[in-house]
Amino acid sequence: MENRKFEERREPEIVYSRSVKAGKRIYYLDVRKARNEDLYLCITESKKRQAGEEETPQFEKHKLFLYKEDFARFSEGLQDVIDYVKQQFGEIEERPEWKPEEKTEEAAQEAASEAAEEPKKKGLFGLFK
């Protein structure tokens, strides 16, 4: 009986997908179809975590499910937050593409010292300072 329940559970079908690369993170925007044929948005943040040089990289993932009846309010709230940040800091410059081979020893030390001074920010809103 338990095997049957497991077989019935499957990942919802992805009907449209787009990925957004942002530094060391990738955001996946997947439109999925629920069992009742309704569509919803699944936003996945994927961040590469590597403990040591010899270890295989691990990916830390966080998911947010947004249902279509909430799209308008979510979009309005997100735009309000983005407008606020722009008002406080001016126009937001696009992040340059991150390339690990370009990272110098000096840049690595600088990043490590900044990380020690600043509390860690997580999730979608970690993009804004």
Domain architecture of the chain: domains with CATH: 2-127 (3.10.450.700)
d(CA 12, CA 125): 26
43 or 107, which is more confident: 43
Percentage of the chain modeled with pLDDT above 70:
65
> What is the spatial order of strands in the sheet that 58-67 belongs to?
13-22, 25-33, 39-49, 58-67
- Kindly tell me the burial class for residue 45, based on how many C-beta atoms sit within 10 Å of its own C-beta (0-12, 13-18, 19 or more): buried
The single-letter DSSP state of residue 24 is T
Helix (H, G, I), strand (E, B) or coil at 44: strand
Kindly report the average pLDDT of the chain as a whole number.
78
Percentage of the chain modeled with pLDDT above 90:
41
Residue 121 neighbours by CB under 8 Å, 6+ apart: 129
Residue 63 has pLDDT above 70, yes or no: yes
The phi-psi region of residue 23 (left if phi > 0; otherwise alpha if psi is between -120 and 50; otherwise beta) is left
Instruction: Band the pLDDT of 95: cuts 50, 70, 90.
Output: confident
d(CA 93, CA 95): 6
d(CA 50, CA 60): 10
Structure token pair of residue 16: 């449209």
Instruction: Band the pLDDT of 48: cuts 50, 70, 90.
Output: confident
Residue 78 has pLDDT above 90, yes or no: yes
- Rg of the Cα trace of the chain? 19
Structure token pair of residue 56: 């295989």
